Amino acid sequence: MWMVVVVLPLLWLSICCVTASARPAKVRSAGVSSAAIQRLQLLASYAGAASCDVRGWRCGPHCEEHTTGTHFIDHAFDRETNTYAYMAVHPRHRRLIVAFRGSVNLASWIQNINALQVQVPWIPDDEARVHRGFSHCYERIQEQLMDKLAEATRRYPGYTLTFIGHSLGGAARGQRRL
């Protein structure tokens, strides 16, 4: 019993500390093209930036090197679930980015454990199911996100639209529909 009370919380705390200090890593190629590695580094940087203040695109390592030239457009946020997504544009690459933040506090972790499967409202197949917490997070910001995204796509016609996220953000990203 003492292990549950003492060791597990310490293990959890050490994992959180390591996770909180994660930075983009230099990737070594193992049969993967350098173009693919650069694209993955770019996407990882955009996902990581969702945990920063990106309004001035000066958020440390995620807003440097791979994402230089990116400009913040807007964001969507829900206080209840602490769900956050930002929109940015990279004019030289003609890319619009929507990045969802991962789990950062108790509110978002509560959504992580809300794991019952529910029907996906926009898919007519009765067999399609989704994690209820992830779906709830996305639904809470869906309307404001879609309104802002519609404006961004009008403002930047022909740009590639990229959705990205990490952890809870990756799951919320998977819920989106256009």
| pLDDT tens for each residue of 137-175 | 888 888 999 999 999 999 999 999 998 887 654 545 444
pLDDT per residue as tens digits for the range 122-142? 777 777 788 788 888 888 888
Of 19 and 100, the one with more pLDDT = 100
String of DSSP letters for 106-150: HHHHHHHH---EEE-TT---TT-EEEHHHHHHHHHHHHHHHHHHH
The whole model's pTM is what? 0.72
Query: Is beta strand 83-90 parallel, antiparallel or unpaired with respect to 95-100?
Result: antiparallel
Q: What is the pLDDT of residues 39-68, one digit of tens each?
A: 888 888 888 888 877 777 777 777 777 788
Q: What is the span of the domain harbouring residue 97?
A: 34-175
> Using CA atoms, how far apart are residues 112 and 87, in angstroms rounded to an integer?
23
Q: Is residue 10 part of a domain?
A: no
Task: Tell me if residue 28 falls in helix, strand or coil.
Answer: coil
Q: Is residue 87 part of a domain?
A: yes
* Tokens matching residue 22: 């994660």
* Residue 4 located in a structural domain: no
Cα–Cα dist 174/128, whole Å = 13
Its sign, for the CA torsion 160, 45, 86, 177, is positive
- Sorting pLDDT into bands at 50, 70 and 90, what band is 90? very high
* Inside any domain, residue 18: no
14 lies in some domain:
no
Looking at residue 5, its pLDDT comes to 37
40 occurs within a structural domain: yes
CATH of the domain at 119: 3.40.50.1820
Structural domain count, the chain? 1
The answer to whether residue 22 sits within a structural domain is no
28 in a domain, yes or no?
no
Cα separation of 154 and 176, whole Å? 19
